[in-house]
Amino acid sequence: MSIDPEANGRHAAEEFRAEHRLGDQPLGDLITIIEQTVGVDIAVLDVHAAEHGMTMRDPRFGTTIIAVAKTPHPMRQRSTLAHELAHVLFEDAGTPASTTVDGSAPNDVEERATAFARHLLIPQQGLTQMLSADMPFGEADLSRIVQRFLVSPQLALVALRQRRIVIPGNAEAWERIRTPDLATKYGWMDQYRQLQADSDSPRAPQLLLSRATRGYQAGVLGAGAIARLRGVTVDAIEQEFREAGVVPDRLESSDDPLPMVTLNDDELDELLGNGPEPAS
């Protein structure tokens, strides 16, 4: 069945924002937003730079994990996260790719995910609120949009053209503008460096870590397994747990059943490397 990728993507992004009361404002920590709204785990992994992101499903447990690569390009990582979220919401991860004769055009499913990501990160109404009808658009305006919505200049330009905003000068020159160039010229490089530090650091799945911590408290999972998930030393984990009052073998009565946590080293390797089959 044919789809309208742009219209479908925009509609889904608007529905997602409305359902979770995100309004038209810029989204902050996208990883936390996705984990808290959709309930999927997200891992930021130290993998090859070419591996931007993928959605994985574990058929044994029915869980879904979005994995993205750590990168010094924070705007790209955010787009990747939003793109993979689209695959989760549309339940189309793993759809076989189809291309044009020259093999260059993505299929409708990928175009829809790309449209969803753009409209999620830069809602049309939020963008309109930043634009002045009686003032010419310039590079400083592009910088404000990139900084506010935390997107690449190229993604912002697509959104602007959809709003019929006339981009002055040479179109190719605008397409070559880089985020760090804007940050340097318009005074927000310190903010960009902080964004880079965050996006270029591994990050373990919060939901999985929460379950693992409960397993540690129940005495069925060791600190070593959690240390491996976090990518830190066992001593560091044990110190964090002591300071937070997290102690094993102290069960408290609760209607909430304890998790079945039985991960060993091999299973952790499977999860973080060769576990669930990649779905996109």
Joined tokens for residue 113:
């995910």
- Burial (CB < 10 A; 0-12, 13-18, 19+), residue 6, is middle
Residues 249, 216 contacting (CB under 8 angstroms): no
Decide: helix, strand or coil at residue 16: helix
d(CA 15, CA 115): 14
Q: What is the pLDDT of residues 73-100, one digit of tens each?
A: 999 999 999 999 999 999 886 655 433 3
Q: What is the pLDDT of residues 147-157, one digit of tens each?
A: 999 999 999 99
Q: What is the pLDDT of residues 175-198, one digit of tens each?
A: 999 999 999 999 999 999 999 999
d(CA 96, CA 279): 10
Joined tokens for residue 208:
């999985």
Amino acid at 1: M
Q: In 163-205, where does DSSP find H-type helix?
A: 171-175, 179-185, 189-199
Question: pTM for the whole thing?
Answer: 0.80
The answer, yes or no, to whether residue 101 has pLDDT greater than 90, is no
Q: If we measure between CA atoms, which residue out of 230, 233, 181, 235 comes closest to residue 210?
A: 230
**Residue 280's pLDDT band (boundaries 50, 70, 90)?**
low
Mean pLDDT of 153-171: 87
Q: Which of 143-152, 202-211, 240-249 has the highest mean pLDDT?
A: 143-152
Decide: helix, strand or coil at residue 55: strand
